[in-house]
Amino acid sequence: MKLAYYPGCSLEGTAKEYNLSTKAVCKALGIELIELPDWNCCGATSAHATNHLLSIVLPTRNLIKANELGLDLAIPCSACFNRMKTSDYYIKRDKKIKEEVEKLLGRKYTANSKINHLLGIFAEDKINAIIASKVVKPLQGLKVAPYYGCLLVKPPKIVEFENAENPQSLDNLIITLGGEAVSDFAYKTECCGASLTLTREEIVLGLVNKILKDAQLRGADCLVTICPFCHFNLDAKQKDVERKFKANYNLPVFYFTQLIGLALGISPKELGIDKHFVNPLELLKSLELA
Amino acid sequence: MEEIIIEERKQDFIKDVDKESGEKIGSCFQCGRCSGSCPVASFMDWTPRQINQLIKLGEKDLVLSANTIWVCASCITCTARCPREIDLAKVMDALRIIAQREKREARVREVPVFHEVFLKSVKKGGRVNEIQMMFEYNLRRKNYLKNLTSYLNLGLNLGPKMIISGKINPLRIIFPHKIKEKKIIGKIFEKIGEEI
Amino acid sequence: MPRVGVFICHCGTNIEGVVDVEKALDEMKNYPSVSYATDYKYMCSEPGQNKVKDAIGKNRLARVVVACCSPRMHENTFRRCIEEADLNPYLIEIANIREHCSWVHPDNKEEATKKAIELIKASVAKVIKNEPLFPRYVPLTKRVLIIGGGIAGIQSALDTASAGYETILLEREPSIGGRMAQLDKTFPTLDCSACILTPKMVDIAQNKNIKLLTYSELEEVSGFIGNFNVKIRKKARYVNEEKCTGCGVCYTKCPKKLASEFDLGIGIRKAIYVPFPQAVPNIPVIDKENCIYFIKGKCKVCEKFCPANAIDFEQEDVLIEEKVGAIIVATGFDTFDPTVFQEYGYGRYKDVITSLQFERLINASGPTGGEVKRPSDGKHPKRVAFIQCVGSRDDTVGRPYCSKVCCMYTAKHTILLKEHEPDSKSYVFYIDIRAPGKGYEEFVRRAQEEYGATYIRGKVAKIYERGGKLVLKAEDTLIGKQVEIEVDLVVLAVGIEPKKDAKDLARKLNISYDTYGFYNEAHPKLRPVETLTDGIYLAGVCQGVKDIPDAVAQGSAAAAKVCGLFSSDELITDPLTSVVDKDLCVGCCACISACPFNAIEEEVLEERTGERIVAKVNETLCKGCGVCVATCPSKAVSLKGWTDEQVLREVEILVGSRK
């Protein structure tokens, strides 16, 4: 299986372990990732808050690259995925926008590449079966709270990813890996605050506190995420949250590709697990998973 | 707070918002689902539903001077839950676009500053140079004394940890990564800037 | 050439204010085809009509043209008028010089006058070609079929039966009673639903004019008003109705338990069962799909214990054919399934239930004996939240309409809850409160003021479970703040929608329905219980959401329509129907497929050269729309009153090829 890989700006930096684990896991599963040549930033939140046309033209440049490669896309970051799907949605429905975008880029958008979030690819029956067959270290005893975040599943009409209120693909993946998905995690699709972490930190701390509190209430040992910003807020900010709300969580936050990698027997170092703020090694060692 | 005088001449604002967002604010029947779902509503001056009603009354200044549109986290839950199928997240975008276009003073000035710095980084190099952007943003957000703890945390805790773990390359402040077609990106920004 | 009379009406100033009537009259007097012309202020009035009648006699007129308002207004008036003067009522044409002329060209008097004259001349040209037409008389069967044994159907049946007409009441469940049988008390009087319903159910059973067919469904319908042929499938109960005494030993002994449909899944029934204790008829039914004997060949406990030897496993479905003259459709409704709202957790959380399930909980003859218990742990709830507008006023699930009765039944629920659980507290989350009936607003206020229900304006955003309780998040829109509440039980006020197979029944009956599946009435304001299919009437929620008083009113209204239909011994058919010239017809049957009223059928002709198929129009069903005329490739079909001859003469005048 060959896919056009769009890492997104944060995977080279603050979400490096996501990049490492994604590449390691894809290699182990025989999925060839071809990084989009000279890809540009999707615009994230800032573009759509400033100019509608800009927010569509930036992601489309990358979509066209995938079209030209003749490959479907694999996108690890929820925000990038959301913006790509949104651009595709508006270009297909608004002739004026399509014209303006194609004029600015000097190329045509043929829409022949399927836009996938990385989770969507691993949730496919075929790939899921391959993963199941290659599990050598089932995540036995690991209670994971599956945190989808908001942009992967909303708005349902545009992203077309499962049920927006109670998605199951990450839950099912955890079970495939031999772990236990905490049922009834009330905050599974509630927003972490994303970019407000830089502009209004206290709001993010409040939101993250609620998420961690509920995960702890449901008996989770750790959380798993599918987005770099969610990971940053839940992991890097956890100590600040504990300090502000006088709580004690100590809940490591994994990228889902790291969990897949662990179950496939890839070493924690290769998966970038040593780069986390909340150290997961103790938890993993206690369950003999590392 | 003074009473609101209801006048027809204020109604142009509704048309502007409808046009900019492509949504019909008029279909809102004030059920409150959006505000009930909003994770940050309790931090807002006016809840998303109240903003809708203010738009209906044409109260442009009240809407754009509130902190609501800047505190909004763009989580799109309001859109997903609205029984009238109004894309409220898009309406919030439209309000932010109008506010920035008219260079209005924002109640949470850090947010438009952040967006400006972020997009500047994209314009220059085609990708967001995280460390350079963080640097410039922190410089421009001012209120240095008030944000002292945040700066200290960044400089003494988060920053070093990220550098040590290899996530951030400090050299990137001086030598940011630029894509090959960065000039094209720059031109796109300029062309769009003309249309605003 | 027949002698034509032209009568021009001034219609007060409606016509004369724009059209120069004198000029038009002058021109018609001098027109070669016209033998007599006159005018009058109000042609439709008595003196006006007398003028027409006198003129016919004095001038030996054989055709009449009245230039006046739209034929929709007074065509029938003038038909009757010339009939009184011994002229066939179809030898008249109306030239519409008001709605089609003076009213639409008020600023252009000269052109309007020219147009009026042309219109009159066109009518003259047509009427010359008109032929006398005669209506037919069709016998009718004075029996009525009522589909649906809920309160609306029951009311209709009692009314038609008391008017002396044989009534067949058809119900697909094992017992009549419908939704009212599931309710505990009814708003706003808090009458016990079963107490007011069961006497009517017993009346049905005892009425000599009513043939009650339960556990039966409509299989097929054919025919037309006054003459319907219906095929009914009486499903096998596997219980002999003559022998069964209704003692109930069989279902007491039956070992197979399943979720009861009547209790909406929160109660149990057996494989042999009556849906509820006051069932009419009180004869059980064996659910073949779940009966141990039918599945595995063992058991037969019911047969062993039945003291009347009434169990009959060999019983088969019976197809019954009946002839009826009218059909009343009163098939009722289903409630919205809230599983699709995953943020509310219905289906995942046991303690999130629907309003109809709550009705079963609170009913003394329900699965918990009237004790309000949490489905999860059986404890009595202290705090209960009621959420309005679940599946109503919601574009996301294709239900933008308001279900009308939920505000009222929720207020009722808070009152009943307080009576059953004095320590409990109710919270109602609403968007608007709709309480438009007699005593309705007062009832809702009572729920709040006397019974202490707290009403919070804001549609609930999300429900999740925490520590065995349910947490609700919403915005209190009246104060503009987010609120959170922890409750023991959540009741979703689900919306009302048509039955899942409503559309299938509509197709069988050839009646139309709206986008949701509610059956269409003939006119939304003025003809609420008729359909556009003659002889078929509507009653109850299948026509649109309504409360019990309105359903009963419609039941009686539909019955009255049927009685009106049956008041004469024959039906008069409109002669303006199409007719097939058998000599020209090639039997392609294109008209049969094209006819929107299913009014054309095949006829086999026995001829010297062999058998031949031609088309034949059923004049009782034909509405004279003319689609068949346009479809026929051989020009074999023509429409009486609008033959090609007649219409083309008109057209010639209008395009100016003839003056």
Are C385 and C358 spatial neighbours (Cβ–Cβ below 8 Å)? no
Which of A51, A154, A201 is facing B80, going by the closest CB pair?
A154
pLDDT of res. B171? 76
- A165 contacts in chain C (CB < 8 Å): 341-343, 462
Structural domain contains residue C255? yes
Q: Which residue has the tokens 């077609």?
A: B181
Q: Provide the phi-psi class of C480: left if phi over 0, else alpha when psi is between -120 and 50, else beta.
A: left
Q: How far apart, in whole angstroms, are the C-alpha atoms of residue C19 and residue C23?
A: 9
Chain A CB within 8 Å of residue B133 CB: no
Q: How far apart, in whole angstroms, are the C-alpha atoms of residue A59 and residue C308?
A: 79
Q: How far apart, in whole angstroms, are the C-alpha atoms of residue C98 and residue C405?
A: 46
Task: Specify the DSSP class assigned to residue C99.
Answer: I
Instruction: Give me B149's structure tokens.
Output: 């703890």
- Whether C8 and C48 map to the same domain: the answer is yes
Q: Which residue has the tokens 């903003």?
A: B51
Q: How far apart, in whole angstroms, are the C-alpha atoms of residue C348 and residue C267?
A: 18
Residue C414 parent element (H or E): helix C406-420
Are B36 and C459 spatial neighbours (Cβ–Cβ below 8 Å)? yes
Q: How far apart, in whole angstroms, are the C-alpha atoms of residue B29 and residue B8?
A: 20
Share of chain C above pLDDT 70, in %: 100
pLDDT of res. B151? 80
Are A81 and A57 spatial neighbours (Cβ–Cβ below 8 Å)? no
pLDDT of res. B196? 43
Residue B101: Cβ within 10 Å count = 12
The CATH class of the A136-286 domain is: alpha beta
The minimum CA-CA distance between C338 and chain A, rounded to whole Å, is 13
Across all residues in chain A, what is the average pLDDT?
94
| Structural domains in chain B (count) | 2
Exposed/middle/buried for residue C321 (C-beta within 10 Å: 0-12, 13-18, 19+): exposed
Beta bridge mates, C610: C607
- Whether B51 and B129 map to the same domain: the answer is no
Q: How far apart, in whole angstroms, are the C-alpha atoms of residue C388 and residue B90?
A: 27
Chain A CB within 8 Å of residue B107 CB: no
Average pLDDT over residues C540-562: 97
Q: How far apart, in whole angstroms, are the C-alpha atoms of residue C649 and residue B129?
A: 84
- C462 contacts in chain B (CB < 8 Å): 36-37
Neighbours of chain A (3+ CB pairs under 8 A): B, C
Find the closest chain A residue to B188 by CA distance.
Answer: A104
CB pairs under 8 A between A and C: 16
Residues of C engaging B, defined by a Cβ cutoff of 8 Å: 343, 389, 393-396, 431, 457-462, 473-477, 480-482
Q: What is the pLDDT of residues A105-120, one digit of tens each?
A: 999 999 899 999 999 9
| Banded pLDDT at C226 (limits 50, 70, 90) | very high
Residues of A engaging C, defined by a Cβ cutoff of 8 Å: 163, 165-166, 184, 186, 217
- Whether C28 and C149 map to the same domain: the answer is no
Q: How far apart, in whole angstroms, are the C-alpha atoms of residue C205 and residue C171?
A: 13
* Contact flag C482-B35 (C-beta cutoff 8 Å): yes
Structural domain contains residue C398? yes
Q: Is the pLDDT of residue C461 over 70?
A: yes
The minimum CA-CA distance between B173 and chain A, rounded to whole Å, is 13
Residues 17-76 of chain B whose Cβ lies under 8 A from any Cβ of chain A:
20, 39-40, 43, 70-71, 73-76
User: Are A2-118 and A136-286 the same fold in CATH?
Assistant: no
- B119 contacts in chain A (CB < 8 Å): 43, 46-47, 50, 54
- Whether B91 and B17 map to the same domain: the answer is yes
What's C617's domain CATH number?
3.30.70.3270
Domain containing B181: what range?
110-192
Q: Is the pLDDT of residue C10 over 60?
A: yes
Structural domain contains residue B166? yes
Q: Decide which of C71, C101, C133 is a domain's last residue.
A: C133
Find the closest chain B residue to C398 by CA distance.
Answer: B83
* Contact flag A47-B119 (C-beta cutoff 8 Å): yes
Q: What is the pLDDT of residues C64-117, one digit of tens each?
A: 999 999 998 899 999 999 999 999 999 999 999 999 999 999 999 999 999 999
The CA-to-CA distance between both ends of chain C, in Å, stands at: 17
- Whether C315 and C402 map to the same domain: the answer is no
- Whether C230 and C314 map to the same domain: the answer is yes
Q: Decide which of B101, B121, B151 is a domain's last residue.
A: B101
Structural domain contains residue B27? yes
Instruction: Give me A242's structure tokens.
Output: 């504990």
Average pLDDT over residues B57-84: 95
Are C505 and C147 spatial neighbours (Cβ–Cβ below 8 Å)? yes
Which residue spans within chain A are E strands per DSSP?
Answer: 2-5, 32-35, 73-75, 115-117, 143-146, 180-181, 222-225, 253-255
As averages over each run of 10 residues, the pLDDT of chain A (290 residues) reads 93 91 94 94 93 95 94 95 96 94 92 94 92 93 95 94 92 95 93 90 95 96 95 94 95 96 93 92 88
Q: Is the pLDDT of residue B47 over 90?
A: yes
* Contact flag A10-B130 (C-beta cutoff 8 Å): yes
Task: Specify the DSSP class assigned to residue A270.
Answer: T
* Contact flag B188-A50 (C-beta cutoff 8 Å): no
* Contact flag C480-B33 (C-beta cutoff 8 Å): no
**What angle is formed at CA C422 by the lines to CA C420 and CA C425, rounded to 5 degrees?**
100
**Amino acid of residue C564:** G
Domain containing C490: what range?
333-497
Q: Is the pLDDT of residue C132 over 80?
A: yes
Distances (CA, A) of C209 to A99, C251, C630, C631: 73, 31, 47, 46
* Contact flag B83-C394 (C-beta cutoff 8 Å): yes
CA C497, distance to chain mean position in Å, is: 14
- Mapping DSSP to helix (H, G, I), strand (E, B) and coil, where does residue C387 land? strand
pLDDT of res. C277? 92
Per-domain residue ranges for chain A?
A: 2-118, 136-286
Helices and strands (H, E) in chain C, number of each type: 17, 34
CA C383, distance to chain mean position in Å, is: 41
Find the closest chain A residue to B91 by CA distance.
Answer: A49
- Whether B83 and B147 map to the same domain: the answer is no
- Whether B164 and B182 map to the same domain: the answer is yes
Q: What is the pLDDT of residues C155-204, one digit of tens each?
A: 999 999 999 999 999 999 999 999 999 999 999 999 999 999 999 999 99
pLDDT of res. B195? 54
* Contact flag C464-A166 (C-beta cutoff 8 Å): no
Average pLDDT over residues B61-66: 95
Q: What is the pLDDT of residues C297-334, one digit of tens each?
A: 999 999 999 999 999 999 999 999 999 999 999 999 99
Which residues, including other chains, have CB under 8 Å from residue C234's CB and lie 6 or more apart? C213, C215, C216, C317, C318, C319, C320
Across all residues in chain C, what is the average pLDDT?
95
Q: What is the pLDDT of residues B73-100, one digit of tens each?
A: 999 999 999 999 999 999 999 999 999 9
CB pairs under 8 A between A and B: 155
Instruction: Give me A34's structure tokens.
Output: 């071809």
Strand C637-639 to C578-580 pairing: antiparallel
The minimum CA-CA distance between A167 and chain C, rounded to whole Å, is 10
Structural domain contains residue B87? yes
Q: Is the pLDDT of residue C278 over 80?
A: yes
- Whether C57 and C86 map to the same domain: the answer is yes
- B169 contacts in chain A (CB < 8 Å): 13
- Whether B83 and B127 map to the same domain: the answer is no
Q: How far apart, in whole angstroms, are the C-alpha atoms of residue B79 and residue C132?
A: 67
- A38 contacts in chain B (CB < 8 Å): 126, 179-181
Residues 453-472 of chain C whose Cβ lies under 8 A from any Cβ of chain A:
462, 464-466, 471
* Contact flag A45-B167 (C-beta cutoff 8 Å): no
pLDDT of res. B130? 84
Instruction: Give me A231's structure tokens.
Output: 């990971």
What's B19's domain CATH number?
1.10.1060.10
Residue C454: Cβ within 10 Å count = 13
- Whether B81 and B20 map to the same domain: the answer is yes
Average pLDDT over residues C550-565: 98
- Whether C454 and C403 map to the same domain: the answer is yes
**Amino acid of residue A29:** L
Exposed/middle/buried for residue C596 (C-beta within 10 Å: 0-12, 13-18, 19+): exposed
Q: What is the ipTM, given to two decimal places? A: 0.91
Q: How far apart, in whole angstroms, are the C-alpha atoms of residue A232 and residue A277?
A: 9
DSSP string over C337-380: -GGG-GGGTBTTBTTEEEHHHHHHHHSTTSTTTT----TTT-PP
pLDDT of res. C658? 66
Structural domain contains residue B1? no
What's C355's domain CATH number?
3.50.50.60
Q: Decide which of B63, B78, B101 is a domain's last residue.
A: B101
Reported residue count of chain B is 196
Q: Decide which of B80, B101, B122 is a domain's last residue.
A: B101
Which residues, including other chains, have CB under 8 Å from residue C419's CB and lie 6 or more apart? none
* Contact flag B114-A199 (C-beta cutoff 8 Å): yes
* Contact flag A186-C465 (C-beta cutoff 8 Å): yes
Find the closest chain A residue to C343 by CA distance.
Answer: A165
Residues 358-417 of chain C whose Cβ lies under 8 A from any Cβ of chain A:
none
Structural domain contains residue B2? no
Find the closest chain B residue to A230 by CA distance.
Answer: B75
Structural domain contains residue C202? no
Which of A50, A196, A201 is facing B100, going by the closest CB pair?
A50
Are A54 and A90 spatial neighbours (Cβ–Cβ below 8 Å)? no
pLDDT of res. C288? 94
Q: How far apart, in whole angstroms, are the C-alpha atoms of residue C483 and residue C24?
A: 77
Share of chain C above pLDDT 90, in %: 94
pLDDT of res. A47? 94
- Whether C469 and C361 map to the same domain: the answer is yes
- Whether C625 and C478 map to the same domain: the answer is no
Structural domain contains residue C70? yes
Structural domain contains residue B3? no
Structural domain contains residue B135? yes
Are B121 and B132 spatial neighbours (Cβ–Cβ below 8 Å)? yes
The minimum CA-CA distance between C400 and chain A, rounded to whole Å, is 18
Topology (CATH) of A2-118 = Glutathione S-transferase Yfyf (Class Pi); Chain A, domain 2 (1.20.1050)
Structural domain contains residue B29? yes
What's C95's domain CATH number?
3.40.50
CB pairs under 8 A between B and C: 67
Q: Provide the phi-psi class of C4: left if phi over 0, else alpha when psi is between -120 and 50, else beta.
A: beta
Instruction: Give me A207's structure tokens.
Output: 């939101």
Are C4 and C35 spatial neighbours (Cβ–Cβ below 8 Å)? yes
Residue A22 parent element (H or E): helix A16-29
Neighbours of chain C (3+ CB pairs under 8 A): A, B
| Structural domains in chain C (count) | 4
The minimum CA-CA distance between A229 and chain C, rounded to whole Å, is 24
* Contact flag B177-A12 (C-beta cutoff 8 Å): yes
Q: How far apart, in whole angstroms, are the C-alpha atoms of residue C472 and residue C470?
A: 7
- Whether C338 and C327 map to the same domain: the answer is no
Q: How far apart, in whole angstroms, are the C-alpha atoms of residue A208 and residue A187?
A: 10
Q: How far apart, in whole angstroms, are the C-alpha atoms of residue A115 and residue A190?
A: 23
Q: How far apart, in whole angstroms, are the C-alpha atoms of residue A45 and residue B72?
A: 11
Find the closest chain A residue to B111 by CA distance.
Answer: A199
Average pLDDT over residues C288-296: 94
Chain A CB within 8 Å of residue B191 CB: yes
pLDDT of res. C659? 63
Structural domain contains residue C182? no
- Whether C522 and C593 map to the same domain: the answer is no
The minimum CA-CA distance between B93 and chain A, rounded to whole Å, is 5
Residue B8 phi, psi (nearest 5): -65, -35
